[in-house]
Structure 1
Amino acid sequence: MSETMFQAYASLEPGGRLQDWEYEPAPLGKEEVEIRITHNGLCHTDIHMRDNDWGISTYPLVPGHEVVGVVTQTGKDITSLAVGDRVGFGWIRDACRQCDHCIQGEENICHNGYTGLILGHHGGFADKLRAPADFAYKIPDRLDSAAAAPLLCAGITVYTPLRTYVTRPAMKVGVIGIGGLGHIAVKYAKAMGAEVTVFSTSPDKEAETKEFGAHHFQIWENADEMKKAHSSQDLIINTAPAATDFETALNLLGNNGTLCIVGLPTCSVEVPVTSLVFGQKAVVGSVVGGRRFMREMLNFSAVHNITPMVETMPLSQVNEAMDKVAANKARYRIVLTA
């Protein structure tokens, strides 16, 4: 077996189960690092990409974009990282670095389009990875690797809009969905000083939700509870990956409130214009985060001891893990270990 070959798990066709696969990586670039992968967070996006739900996947596809590992090689121009450093990679692999957004650390909305870690490149479900060092993030010592991995996508996905829209103490923040993203959103919102309400379809999650820091828990299908919550929220983060009743969601907002969509259901969004206009409400989207917020989020997590609830499974059981996530049976994030 060649020492230059990387061992990976890949889907060879849309919807295909992942299988053992190897590939020869491109030579290590002068601005890249190579890492030995130890942990991978399993994101629902990996399943969307495996199945080509968005029509952007290429095959063979090696998923994995919540990657933590140890630096084993550095390109000749790298001075910020050294062999032995523990680092992570998230959804964004690279960006133009020249547009106004990139200059402000908002590579997630790069004017010229960022490069995804698993868009035309092989991701973290492998023994090693090579990628640009500028998008490798040092993991704070206070965060263990299993906890850090999901923060690199799930964490930054909810941190960015909370950081953007939680602008005053005791804001009322609602979180729709208490899964891999939602439970981290609750922890961040609480740490930012918000009064947090969770809206869920899973009554059995109430006790855990309160442990995460939520002040209130309401069942989405309970008409009486939802009526009492009418016009009560300043900000709602919708983490649900499935279709949502957006009229109900907008009715939960007070005037000048904001509904932020971070989940990616494969459907269109219908927004009731009357509620939007007469309440001066806003519907916005947010996608992961740039380097500025990513570094800040990791440090914020370390300082406030914010970690996701994870269960670990060996990478060799990746298909079983994906089945569990697809069946909504993960509590709350699965991390695959080498």
Structure 2
Amino acid sequence: MTTVKAYAAKQPKGPFEPFEYELGDIAPDEVDIAVESCGICHSDLSMLDDEWGMAQYPLVPGHEVIGKVSSVGDHVTHVAVGDRVGLGWHAGYCMICDQCMGGDHNLCPDAQATIAGRHGGFADTVRAKGASVVKIPEGLEPAEAGPLLCGGIAVFNPLMQLDLKPTASVGVIGIGGLGHLALKFANAWGCHVTALTSDSKRDEALQMGAHDTVNSRDADAIAAAAGRFDLVISTVNVQMDWNAILATLKPRGVLHMPGAVTEPLGINVLPHMMFNQLSLSSSPVGPPVVIRKMLDFAARHKVAPVNEHFPMSKVNDAFEHLRSGKARYRIVLDRD
């Protein structure tokens, strides 16, 4: 038996308090990770507030985990004790459905979320199925890499799934936790990158990989971008004039939405979608093989999130900072 020391909320929107629980014997296909750091994703806040109706309390969030393997089951061969690894949104997959067998583990209907029905990485130890655990390559700074495992893969996955060409023109809506990484990845991919953001973030967007910007609050500026983009990645969770955004796409262009907008979009098929053969898509994080490729790509091209750090014991302060909207742009908790 292993006693895990963690931080848990006992009710929706409640404060985090020290919390201990026991891990039983490790299964043959499982890995235990001694947590070094863990990013805070907006999904952790959504789970804390039970916005999706799937949280269970006491809740230990944390699904952007970096740490070293402390124990492995007998059937795990791709990582060993002492390896530095990462764990993202998924802590396990069924491994037998068509999606898993086809390499689309993130679409597995029985995928196990790291922080839904189990305890996550705001702790000294976290356990997951081996298939969900990936090595951190040389060239990535481990203390900064955590947000790549959810925020990073959320915007990298569509670049691969949509077979994006390096000659493409890409627009990114929202320059926050997801958006700033989308700028960096699309730029490193070779694309011409435009940030659709407020004028107040123009300089930051240019520093993080945008070649130019469009004021997302100016309807005339958006209208002037008609027919400009092969792909628009929307990272926001608020309503916009999506028909106006669709009009910025070239024929056969795609509006891809990793940002979780919960209200109906109000999209018209005519005229833009039908006459220009446009597509609307979305995707959940990415499968392990794409996470590995993303981490290698990030190491090769020096793509790293912009992070603010808090000691894990100050988790309540970190969440208050996130709620305030002042985070620039991701928050990482470091084990005290």
- Name the TM tier (shorter chain): over 0.9
Unaligned runs of 5+ in 1: none
Pairwise mapping of residues 128-207 of structure 1 onto structure 2 (< 5 A)?
Answer: 128-201=125-198, 203-207=199-203
Deviation at 1:166, TM superposition (A): 4.7
- 1:217 is matched by which residue type in structure 2? T
| Higher mean C-alpha deviation, range 70-79 or range 301-310 | 70-79
Does the 8 Å contact 1:183/1:332 carry over to 2? yes
The whole-number CA distance in structure 1 between the counterparts of 2:224 and 2:128 is 50
Amino acid at match of 1:133: G
- The percent identity for this pair of structures is 42
The aligned amino acid for 2:248 is: L
1:102 to 100, 103, 127: 100
Q: 2:312 aligns with which of 289, 312, 315?
A: 315
When residues 258 and 332 of structure 1 are mapped into structure 2, their CA distance, relative to the original with a 3 A threshold, is: same
Judge which range, 76-85 or 143-152, deviates more: 76-85
Cα shift readout 1:277-305 (whole Å, capped 9, x = no counterpart): 22211111111000110111111111111
Q: 2:247 aligns with which of 251, 260, 279?
A: 251
Q: Please report how far the alpha carbon of residue 104 of structure 1 lies from its aligned counterpart in structure 2 after TM superposition.
A: 2.6
- Which region of structure 1 is more displaced relative to structure 2, 6-15 or 165-174? 165-174
> Could you tell me whether the CA contact under 8 Å between 2:223 and 2:244 is conserved in 1?
no
Deviates more, 1:165-174 or 1:211-220: 165-174
6-15 or 262-271, which deviates more = 262-271
Shift of 1:85: 0.6
Residue pairs, 1:290-309, within 5 angstroms: 290-309=287-306
Of the three residues 72, 76, 83, the one matched with 1:74 is: 72
The answer to whether residue 253 in structure 2 is matched with residue 240 in structure 1 is no
Deviation at 1:265, TM superposition (A): 2.6
Distance in 1 of aligned mates of 2:283 and 2:227: 22
Q: Deviation digits for residues 27-51 of structure 1, max 9, x if unmatched?
A: 2112111111011111000000011
Q: What is the rounded CA distance, in whole Å, between the counterparts of 2:213 and 2:98 in structure 1?
A: 40
Structure 2: unaligned runs, 5 residues or longer? none
**8 A contact 2:7–2:60 mirrored in 1:** yes
Q: Secondary structure at the match of 1:5?
A: strand
Structure 1, residues 205-248: CA drift from partner, whole Å, max 9, x if none?
Answer: 21121111111111111233222112211100010022232122
Shift of 1:174: 0.5
Secondary structure of 1:317's partner? helix
Q: 2:205 — aligned with what?
A: 209
SS at match of 1:68: strand
- Which shows bigger deviation, 278-287 or 70-79? 70-79
Mapping 1:12-91, distance limit 5 Å = 12-91=10-89
Tell me, in whole angstroms, the C-alpha distance in 1 between the residues paired with 2:53 and 2:265: 19
Matched, 1:122 2:119: yes
In structure 2, C-alpha distance between the alignment counterparts of 1:147 and 1:104, rounded to whole Å: 31
- TM-superposed CA distance for 1:255, in Å, is 1.9
Q: Does the Cα contact within 8 Å between 1:165 and 1:235 map onto a contact in 2?
A: no
Residue 222 of structure 2 is aligned to residue 226 of structure 1? yes
| Contact 2:65–2:87 (CA under 8 A) maintained in structure 1 | yes
The whole-number CA distance in structure 1 between the counterparts of 2:11 and 2:240 is 30
How much does 1:317 deviate?
1.4
Q: Take 2:230 and 2:218, find their aligned partners in 1: how far apart are those partners?
A: 21
1:146 CA displacement: 2.2
**Which aligned runs of 4 or more in structure 1 are off by greater than 6 angstroms?**
none
Q: Label 1:311 to 1:199 Cα distance change in 2 as closer, same or farther (>3 A).
A: same
Q: Contact 2:93–2:131 (CA<8 Å) still a contact in 1?
A: no
